[in-house]
Every structure is written in C-alpha cells, then in structure tokens.
Chain A
Amino acid sequence: MVYWQLFLAFFKIGLFGFGGGYAMLSLIQHQVVTEHEWISDTEFTNIIAISQMTPGPISINSATYIGYTVTHSVWGSVLTTLGVCLPSLIIMLIASYFFLKLRENIYVSTIMRTIYPIVIGLILSAALQLMTSENFIDFKSYLIFIGALLLLYKKLNPILIMALSGIIGFFIY
C-alpha cells in the first residue's frame, strides 16, 4: 500500500535527518527516487527548485509536494508531512522532559561532530546524482551551473540566483 510506504519512507527520513535540509535531500532522494522510484531525478530536481523558492524547511516542503505528486491526493501530503515531522515531535518532547540532563551531555555534541563528514558526503552524493543529461540538457545548462556557482561564491542571495536562472531558462530554451 503506497500510503503506508510513503509514511514509512518519510518517517525514516525524519528520524535520520541529521545536519539540516540539504543533508535530508540525500535521504529523500534515496527513498523516493532510487528505492521506490515514485518520481524521476528530473522531477526531484524540479521539486527542490520549488521547495527552495518557497518559505519553510526544505524537508517539509518537499515531503508535502512529493506526497501529493505520488498519490494525487491530499492524504498523501498529510502522511508524508506527518511522517517527516513525527520523529522531531517525539524526540523533542522526550528531550524537553530530560532537557537539563541532556544539555550537559557530551555524547550529543561529540556524536554530531563525528557524523558531520558523513553528512557532507550525503550532500555531495545528492549533487552528483543530479548531474544527469535531463538536468544538463546542453552546454547552456553548464553555463548556468558555473554562473550560479560563481554568484553563490560572491554571496548573492540563493533565491535571487534561482529566480535569475529561471528567467534565463525561459529566454534561451
């Protein structure tokens, strides 16, 4: 049953989603594109673009969007969003209850530091897996890619860069 599978996939993503939105992208990609093949790499990239340009956490944005796209039903969205956030709710309520003890816990900070390189690896793999011929149609795509990297390096607002590349895409394709 696809609804149960969606909920479970996003629950796993929420439970192991250390290191912020971009690290979670790799988990989402692995569950939704590689393992269950609910959407294609191209659709996934489109969804990240939309999630990036809308307010709110990228993991919730993409969960809601993917839930609807896969099932064509509001309930799909409800389940994916709930799935990705439920681990947060459970863990944070438990942490709140024991907060004073946890605050001084050296384990939390050291473990976070240990998995940090792995988190970077997850993000790198997400980027590499999205370098497909559907995302890079021709040499113009590479020019946009290099241009975006340079503007990011120049500390230009990412949302502005996205808007710019969308407009450029409209005119050159």
Chain B
Amino acid sequence: MDEKEFMDYLSLAQASPGPMAVNTAILIGYRQAKLLGGIAGFLGSTLPSFIILLLIAIFFQNFSENPHVAKVFNGLRPAVVALILYTVFVFAKNVHKWEYPIFIAAAGFILLGISPLYLICIGIITGTIYTYYKTHKTKGF
C-alpha cells in the first residue's frame, strides 16, 4: 500500500471509536486477507498488551501491599494527574476559543454525575444534524 492509502486508513481508524492501533490493524488485516486477515490483525494488536498486563496484574496483587511499592506509587499518582491535565491543554489548542465553554460545561456535567456516554451521544446527534443542515443548505444554492 502507498502512503496516501495508509493515511486514509489512519484517519478512518482515528475517527472511529476504540483504540486506534487496533482499528488500524483490523483495517490493514482486512485489506490483505479479508475477514480472517481482520481477525488476525485484531488478535495481533491486542494479545501482546493483554499478556503483559495480565502478568503484571497477577504479580502486582502480591506487591501492592508492599510499603516500598506504595512509596513509588505515591510519587507516581500526582504525575499521572499532571499527564492527563496536560493532555487537556494540548487538545484545547486544536479548538476555537468559543468552544472552551463547551468542554468546561461537559466536564462539569460529568462531575455532577452525568454519564459521559450521554454527552458523546448528544455530540453525535448534534454533529449529524449540523452536517445534514450544512450539506443540504449548500446543495440548495
């Protein structure tokens, strides 16, 4: 496949729900060998993570009570929160200023206990109506 085709696959994988690496692997697998290829891509992209994390989970059960391990994680947790918050700053650069209230409101709703699933549904419905309106309006001219 050439670079252009790969970029097409990549943008589709990114626009779809789920882990992007897995989505890309399934698309490429299907292109090469249809259904079996898609399933092979799926297994190939998920199994390594699955095996590694399963082993860590099994071993960590015995270590989580260890005071030395607890100290390390006391240091790790604030850094994790920093990492997630930093992602917000990075992503916010890609949207207009007038969209800031939207994401602040979305975060507020979730903190009040509203499921993020509903917010995504609202986003999809709004996006669909907006696109429908936009495409039909341009067709009218």
Binding site for B on A (CB under 8 A): 12, 14-18, 20-22, 24-27, 30, 34-35, 42, 45-46, 48-52, 54-57, 59-61, 64-65, 68-69, 72, 74, 77, 81, 84-85, 87-89, 91-93, 95-96, 99, 102-103, 106-131, 134-137, 141-142, 144-146, 148-149, 152-153, 158, 161-162, 164-170, 172-173
A151 CB to nearest B CB, Å: 9
Complex Cα distance A108/B122, Å?
15
A169 lies within 8 A of B73 (CB): yes
Beyond the given pairs A88-B18, A99-B12, A130-B81, 16 more chain A to chain B contacts, judged by CB atoms under 8 angstroms and listed by A's residue number, are: A15-B17, A16-B121, A17-B17, A56-B49, A57-B19, A59-B18, A77-B53, A92-B38, A102-B12, A103-B8, A111-B127, A117-B100, A122-B119, A130-B84, A144-B79, A165-B79
Complex Cα distance A103/B95, Å?
23
8 residue pairs bridging A and B, Cβ less than 8 Å apart: A20-B14, A26-B110, A61-B53, A121-B102, A124-B88, A135-B77, A136-B77, A145-B79
Which residues from chain B contact A145 at a C-beta distance below 8 Å? 78-79, 81-82
In the complex with contacts A68-B57, A123-B91, A117-B21 CB distance below 8 A:
no
Q: Which of B73-128 contact A (CB under 8 A)?
A: 73-88, 91-92, 94-95, 99-100, 102-111, 113, 115-117, 119-124, 126-128
Q: Which of B5-35 contact A (CB under 8 A)?
A: 8, 11-23, 26-27, 30-31, 35
One of A21, A35, A64, A106 near B19 (C-beta < 8 A): A21
Which residues from chain B contact A102 at a C-beta distance below 8 Å? 12
A147 CB to nearest B CB, Å: 8
Binding site for A on B (CB under 8 A): 8, 11-23, 26-27, 30-31, 35, 38-39, 42, 46, 48-50, 52-54, 56-58, 60-61, 64, 68, 70-88, 91-92, 94-95, 99-100, 102-111, 113, 115-117, 119-124, 126-128, 130-131, 134-135
B83 CB to nearest A CB, Å: 6
Which residues from chain B contact A144 at a C-beta distance below 8 Å? 75, 78-79, 82
Top 7 A-B pairs, shortest CB-CB distance: A169-B75, A121-B106, A56-B49, A114-B127, A88-B18, A115-B123, A111-B127
Which residues from chain B contact A129 at a C-beta distance below 8 Å? 110-111
Q: From B67, which residue of chain A is reached at the shortest CB distance? A: A173
B116 lies within 8 A of A122 (CB): yes
